[in-house]
Amino acid sequence: MNDALVPKATQHLYNILLVNDKLAPIERLDALIDKLSIDRIMLETSLLALEAIDIAVADLLAEEVPDSSRSLYLYQDQSLQLLLEQAFQARLDQDHFIKSLMLLNETDLIFRFTAARKFKITDPSAKQLRINSWGKLYIQEKALIKQYDPLYAKLTEQAKSYFIQDEATYQEAVQLLSEPINPLSAAHLTKLNDGLAIKLLS
């Protein structure tokens, strides 16, 4: 592409991303978060919420299908938003929330991408997401659990309560997700997810 045809603001963003592409994920996040005017508290609490969900899934559902939690994703950003709003007891700033998720994904601290076609989801903007090992390392290195101790306890408690409340439905969803997805199982999974606060995909 001819650089002369790219708006200066866009070219500046490309240059920032290019320079930081050679950095490790955590270094990349630290380098970009201030340059892109991202709310650090929103970003870090979003990461902690994904960690709380990951632990809750492993604790409550792994016995049903061993190691299934390692391949499970949260379905829809709104599931994560719900958990955060319950913990904060306040509405999130939608713009800051989505920007935080986009930067976490850009810096490889989470996986976040358009929902897989096998699930027959008609909304092209729907995402599936989960924390990865770099995100977990960021939490450890920055001591986020201690830093956000009261909030993280709320996130963990709330996430576990969702799974306990609808444990049978979650177990059925996990069982479906442990097997190859076909049109019938995709439709059944959609019905199950419709009734769940924290929706799951694989």
Own/partner contacts of 133-142, CB < 8 Å, gap of 24 or more, are 134/25, 134/26, 134/108, 134/109, 135/47, 135/50, 135/51, 135/104, 135/109, 135/110, 136/51, 137/26, 138/25, 138/26, 138/29, 138/47, 138/109, 139/47, 139/48, 139/51, 141/26, 142/44
Give me the pLDDT at residue 4, please. 55
Q: Which two tokens stand for residue 35?
A: 């340059």
Q: Which two tokens stand for residue 71?
A: 């391949």
Q: Give the mean pLDDT of 30-42.
A: 90
For the chain, what percent of residues have pLDDT higher than 70?
A: 91
Give me the pLDDT at residue 63, please. 61
Give me the amino acid identity at 15.
N
CA distances for 158 relative to 88, 90, 129, 136, angstroms: 11, 15, 19, 20
Judge contact between 173 and 195, C-beta under 8 A: no
Q: Which two tokens stand for residue 15?
A: 């240059």
Q: Give the CB-side neighbour count of residue 70, counting CA atoms within 13 A.
A: 5
Largest Cα–Cα distance in the chain?
A: 58
CA distances for 170 relative to 50, 112, 176, angstroms: 17, 21, 10
Q: Give the mean pLDDT of 190-202.
A: 97
Give me the pLDDT at residue 128, please. 98
The pTM of the full predicted model, rounded to 2 decimals, is 0.89
Number of other CB atoms surrounding residue 8 within 10 Å: 8
pLDDT band at 73 (very low <50, low <70, confident <90, very high): very high
Judged against a pLDDT cut of 80, whether residue 82 lies above it is answered with yes
Among all chains, which residue has been given the structure tokens 């709003």? 85
Q: What is the mean pLDDT of the chain?
A: 90
Per domain, the residue ranges of the chain are: 39-201
- Write the pLDDT tens digit of every residue in 108-157: 999 999 999 999 999 999 999 999 999 999 999 999 999 999 999 999 99
Judged against a pLDDT cut of 80, whether residue 67 lies above it is answered with no
